[in-house]
Amino acid sequence: MTSTKGYAAISAKSELKPYAFDRRDLRVDDVGFRIDYSGICHSDIHQVREEWGEAIFPMVPGHEIVGTVTSVGANVTRFKIGERIGVGVFIDSCRKCNNCLNGLQQYCLEGMTGTYNGYERDTKQIAFGGYSNYFVIPESYAYKLPENLDMAAMAPLLCAGITLYSPLKKWKVGPASSVAVAGLGGLGHMGVKFAAALGAKVTVLSHSDSKENDARSFGASDFINTSKKDWHLGYRKHFDLILNTVSAQVDLEPYLSTLATDGSLVVIGLPGAPYSVSAGSLLDGRRSVAGSKIGGVPETQEMLDFCGDKNIVCEVEVISADHINKAYERTISSDVRYRFVIDCSTF
């Protein structure tokens, strides 16, 4: 066992506090690593505060993890001590269902094993996430990180990055596409960067004017403030794809009216309450509402390699561990440019 320091929530009502625990010993196919940086995803906040229902406490959140390998099991072939390593939203899956065999581990038919707020597949111990200074993972669920990118700025790629990359690929976005990204937060800003890198025309749908300059600097050519009345009227049947990353409940109807024929609105934000959609909005123009959850192992590695090739990283604000609770409040009030990342040497 390796003693590990981190931060945990003890209940949905309490602030996160310093928390010490043990990581299991390495098995033959495991990699042990020092966590260097860990991103703060809005999902961590939903989860800690039980906005999605049942939560498992104590909870050490964190599923945007980058670090440096410190030990390897006897059968490990992909990683060496001293190399960079990344871990995302899951640490294991059944490895035998059709989805796992097709590289869609996030849709494992038995359920993916989450990086936290779940139980490790075999030991049945609570899985503790990345707000900590040491991690153990089977090598086939870890990622190689590009050497040319800043470590802290890469951490959010492991969730925010792959979650936007995957639907852009699934819906075959390219130079002919008109893509809207709703919500310019941790996820949304990566959607803008990726869609622009794929050659699409990108519009940001944001609920204030404050992020317009940033949106354009990330590659958007158009910016709409959705808090303005009737914002959608000038964009009827306009977008091929809308990626909705908004973390709060919004009325989807105005967004649907801006979808072109055969356009899709992909639900990515998870506010916790159901959306309502009128049949007429879907029938007119054969529109679709779809969903997308992170990405599988091969696609996550592809996304990281793409970022290395194109020099794409996240915009981050690095904080020490004692700023986590404050960072939660600022994230909720959309006051983050564009992802908080914890320096894990401060645990």
For binding to Zn ion (CB under 5 A), which residues are involved? 41, 43, 93-94, 97, 100, 108, 159
Q: Cα dist. 94→106, 133, 141, 148 in Å?
A: 11, 27, 12, 33
The yes or no reply on residue 41 touching ligand NAP (CB under 6 A) is yes
State the binding partner of 331 from Zn ion, ligand NAP, none, CB within 5 to 8 A by kind. Answer: ligand NAP
The nearer residue to ligand NAP, 5 or 46, going by C-beta atoms, is 46
Q: Which is nearer to Zn ion, 146 or 185 (CB)?
A: 185
Among 32, 183, 191, 296, binds ligand NAP (CB under 6 A): 183
Q: What's the rounded Cα separation, in Å, for the pair 60 and 63?
A: 10
Indicate the SS3 state at residue 86. strand
Among 186, 219, 263, 296, binds ligand NAP (CB under 6 A): 186
331 binds ligand NAP (CB under 6 A): yes
Q: Which stretch binds ligand NAP (CB under 6 A): 13-21, 112-120, 139-147, 268-276?
A: 268-276
Work out whether 248 is an interface residue with ligand NAP (CB under 6 A).
Answer: yes
Q: Which residues, including other chains, have CB under 8 Å from residue 113's CB and lie 6 or more apart?
A: 90, 91, 92, 93, 119, 120, 121, 127
In the complex with ligand NAP, which residue's Cβ is closer, 23 or 207? 207
How many residues touch ligand NAP (CB under 6 A)?
A: 32
Q: What is the DSSP string of 33-64?
A: EEEEEEE--HHHHHHHTTTTS---SSB-----
Question: Considering CB distances under 5 to 8 angstroms, the limit depending on partner class, which of ligand NAP, Zn ion, none binds residue 104?
Answer: none
Taking CA atoms, 5 is separated from 2, 127, 135, 144, 345, in Å, by: 10, 14, 11, 24, 10
As given in the structure block, the two tokens for residue 162 are: 């792959």
Using the contact rule CB under 6 A, the part of the chain among 11-19, 36-44, 71-79, 257-265 near ligand NAP is: 36-44
Rounded Cα–Cα distance for residues 228 and 206 (Å): 10
| Whether the Cβ atoms of residue 292 and residue 269 lie closer than 8 Å to each other | no
What are the φ/ψ torsions at residue 219 (nearest 5 degrees)? 125, 5
Tell me the per-residue interface mask from 274 to 303 with ligand NAP, x by CB under 6 A, - otherwise.
------------------xxx---------
Q: Could you tell me the CA-to-CA distances from 153 to 149, 248, 338 in Å, in that order?
A: 8, 25, 10
Backbone CA torsion sign across 17, 18, 21, 24: positive
Binding partner of residue 157 among Zn ion, ligand NAP, none, CB cut-off 5 to 8 Å per kind: none
- List, in sequence order, every beta strand (DSSP E) within 201-310: 201-206, 222-225, 239-244, 259-267, 288-291
Residue 137 binding ligand NAP, by CB under 6 A: no
The CA-atom distances, in angstroms, between 48 and each of 10, 18, 39, 59 are 9, 15, 15, 7
Does 112 contact ligand NAP by CB under 6 A? no
Residue 26 or 314: which CB sits closer to Zn ion? 314
Instruction: Assess 246 for contact with ligand NAP (CB under 6 A).
Output: yes
Q: Which of residues 4, 38, 43, 105 is near ligand NAP by CB under 6 A?
A: 43
How far, in Å, CA of 158 to CA of 64, rounded?
A: 5
Give the range of 25-33, 121-129, 172-180, 267-275 binding ligand NAP by CB under 6 A. 267-275
- For the record, the structure tokens of 347 come out as 């645990």
Q: Identify which of residues 136 and 154 has a Cβ nearer to ligand NAP in the complex.
A: 154
Taking CB under 6 A as the criterion, the residue among 131, 269, 299, 328 binding ligand NAP is 269
Q: CB 230 → Zn ion: shortest distance, Å?
A: 33
The torsion angles phi and psi of 156, rounded to 5 degrees, stand at -70, -10
Interaction site with ligand NAP (CB under 6 A) = 41-43, 46, 159-160, 163, 183-188, 206-208, 211, 245-248, 250, 268-271, 292-294, 331, 334, 336
